[in-house]
A = this chain, B = another copy of it.
Amino acid sequence: MPYELYYWDGIQGRGEFVRLALEEAGVDYVDVTRRPDGMAAMMKLLKGRTEPHIPFAPPFLKDGDLIVPHVANILLYLGPKLGLAPKSEPLRFIANGLQLTITDFVAEVHDTHHPVSTNQYYEDQKEAAKQRSADFNVHRIPKFMGYFERVLELNPEGSKHAIGNELSYVDLSLFQVIEGLHYAFPRATKDFSRHYPALIALHDAIEQRPNIKNYLASERRLDFNESGIFRHYPELDQDA
């Protein structure tokens, strides 16, 4: 039975970190909500009382009877099965730690446009969004990106990968973060290749991997848009 990914239709969002791993591995999977009754199936599962262990929110992965929620948890689960996790047990905790730092970074990206409430429109929290984004551009992007650049530099096996000398799901997620930041904040990211050369080299190498290249050109890859996590609002972008 193929893996079933449940996530909001119409956006890359958090689901994209899982899609990139599934696509790189070339395994069969169903992106459930892109099917005609998919949204109804997802809501039924979230609201139902039949599953022993319900998720709080999408994305979640269904593998047979098991439902695995949260991006980092899904990747922890899938990584070894897809050949995208370190083989050493201790290094799997390193990978998970890096993925959780990516999770935090992505949550901060989301909060640039929704600093007050996820229940209100962006337009209704624009002033707080401008304040939060200014801080994000000036302090948070350099802090997180500088950290990940250092992770690559300090990797004892070379700076081509986040962990060890093989591709992992963490590398794929770093690619996606850089893609998203470029889309949302073209001004704040315009010197990225000068400031974060190892990360940009990693990004460019991922982009050229055959399965990823094929995926990015396919209709399975949705465009970034202003319903997702990475949104381009010019008023929130500024030079770093």
Contacts and interface: CB of A to CB of B under 8 A. Distances in A.
A52 B152 CA distance: 10
- Counted per complex, copies of this chain come to 2
Interface in A54-81: 54-56, 60, 66, 68-70, 72-73, 76-77
Contacts of A90: 66
A233 interface: no
Given A131-B128, A147-B56, A154-B51, A93 B77 contact: yes
A97 interface: yes
A49 B151 CA distance: 10
A208 interface: no
B97 A55 contact: yes
Interface of A: 49, 51-56, 60, 66, 68-70, 72-73, 76-77, 90, 93-94, 96-97, 100-101, 104, 107, 111, 115-117, 119-120, 125, 128, 131-132, 135, 139, 144, 147, 150-151, 154-156, 163
